[in-house]
Structure 1
Amino acid sequence: MGLPRRKLLATAEETLTPPDELTPQQQIARAIKATGNNIYLVELASKQTLLVELPARFRSAIWIKRGSFVVVDTGALEERENKLGGEIVNVVRDEKAWRKAPYW
């Protein structure tokens, strides 16, 4: 049994508007490919590639296509001993609105 529809819609609406500012550990990245098990390979603006995890709240609500943009928190998984370099905290869906933000 999946999540209630109201929770899925709230998660999807949350990604439409960009946040006012990003924390120092958050960066905008481009999704290169889905490697499986909700793990994605992303490329940061500095051309560095990272493996990042898609959190459970986005898994059934949002799909990430190759080439789309996501906001990655690189400090979220520092305490875990694995290959993951961060966690996806937001998915850019309305790219025009996001490009107007000062941190883009």
Structure 2
Amino acid sequence: MSKLYSGDIVAGLRCLIGQTVSIYTTSGGCSGSGFTGVLVYVDDCVVKLITRIGTPPSCSLGTACCPPGPAPYRGYGCEPFVGLGSVTIIPVDRIAAFVQNAIG
């Protein structure tokens, strides 16, 4: 990929930080199907997408809304934080195409 072409992709993606995009790569397998997420970082080498948002805590006040005691005896909504989410890092030189929302 030429430097000019790579720079055009980077410039285009920088304008989309904070928006949901789909990025298709030149790789095969599952990664060749593309990645969709919120674009959070772009530089000349890589882009980062949040592809899965982590789950929030079940109670914003910590354990204050859950009665004390072992798990089977606590009420509904006292589950611990279980989902950390995921971030996908894609090398710029492997980007084949990206898709953005038509309304912006």
In the superposition, the TM-score normalised over structure 2's length comes to 0.28
Which one has a larger percent helix, Structure 1 or Structure 2?
A: 2
In the superposition, the TM-score normalised over structure 1's length comes to 0.28
